[in-house]
Amino acid sequence: MDTTKSPSTDEVAEWVYVVDDDLSVREALSSLIRSVGLNVETFSSAAAFLAVPRKSSPACLILDVRMPDLSGLELQALLTRAGICIPIVFITGHGDIPMAVRAIKHGAIEFLAKPFRDEDLISAIRSALARAHDDQHEAQEIARVRQRFEQLTGREKEVVAYIVQGYLNKQVAAELGISETTIKVHRHNIMSKMNVRTLPDLVRMMEKLAPSESKPRK
């Protein structure tokens, strides 16, 4: 791993990670990225990048396509399988259309062929960091919803799964073999614990969780 970073080490700041096996490219990109006020950290290989714990700050990855051992596309696939969400901007001097299509299809923000304009790279980085902020916000929201959902009792979790599928109280009561009055009590408790006022709000909130949580268990 290179030690090139911007002067700021603020953990809440945005970060740009550069992975390229060419030292001259890493140095040039580092200088460019720092010139627009962004924190940057460079790595000579995918393995070096994977060996260092990621910061919790919004970040993006500038990734060379062709590298020894583990290619950029292989690293992208590995990160996806591991559930690591980080927006990627690919750069390459040997790219082709099928390669670019594959990268974009799997979530890359941009695929830039060398030589590219500095403005194009900075624009791609800005887009990637905006995506990173959105992803982080969404992850935090899902965590909040999950925390509220886990406050429900086992029976309330069964009831909410039917409610968000559009079942009426009497239908839920019939499915679960309990009274409609009891369902109404559960429904009131669910709305209170999930901190929502309307059914559409509850449905949208439950959609943020895994699909299995919003479907009745048969």
We report the CATH number of the domain holding residue 171 as: 1.10.10.10
Global confidence as pTM: 0.74
46 exposure class (CB count in 10 Å sphere: 0-12, 13-18, 19+):
buried
Instruction: Give the integer Cα–Cα distance in Å for 163 and 165.
Output: 5
Q: Is the pLDDT of residue 3 over 50?
A: no
Same domain, 109 and 202: no
- Examine residue 122 and state whether it is found in any structural domain, yes or no: yes
Write the CATH number for 53. Answer: 3.40.50.2300
User: pLDDT at position 182, please?
Assistant: 97
Predicted pLDDT of residue 215: 58
Task: Please determine, for residue 176, whether its predicted confidence score (pLDDT) is greater than 70.
Answer: yes
Element holding 43 (H helix, E strand): strand 39-43
Considering 111, 136, 161, which residue would you say is the last residue of a domain? 136
| Structural domain contains residue 82 | yes
Q: 15 in helix, strand or coil?
A: strand
Q: Are residues 195 and 103 in the same domain?
A: no
pLDDT over 90 (residue 96): no
Whether 15 has a pLDDT exceeding 90, the answer reads yes
What pLDDT is recorded for position 9?
43
Give the tokens for residue 31: 């200088």
Mean pLDDT of 8-35: 86
Angle, in degrees to the nearest 10, between helices 154-163 and 199-207: 110
The verdict on residue 194 lying in a domain is: yes
DSSP annotation of 77: H
pLDDT higher at 144 or 98: 144
Cα–Cα distances in Å, from 111 out to 63, 93, 121?
10, 11, 10
Residue 210 is part of which domain span?
Answer: 151-214
pLDDT classification of 1: cutoffs 50, 70, 90: low
- Mean of pLDDT values over 197-218: 77
Question: ∠ CA 144-149-153 to the nearest 5 degrees?
Answer: 150
**In this structure, what token pair is assigned to residue 111?**
């695929």
Pick the range with the lowest mean pLDDT from 15-29, 88-102, 104-118: 88-102
Q: Which of 105, 97, 24, 103 is nearest to 65 (CA)?
A: 103
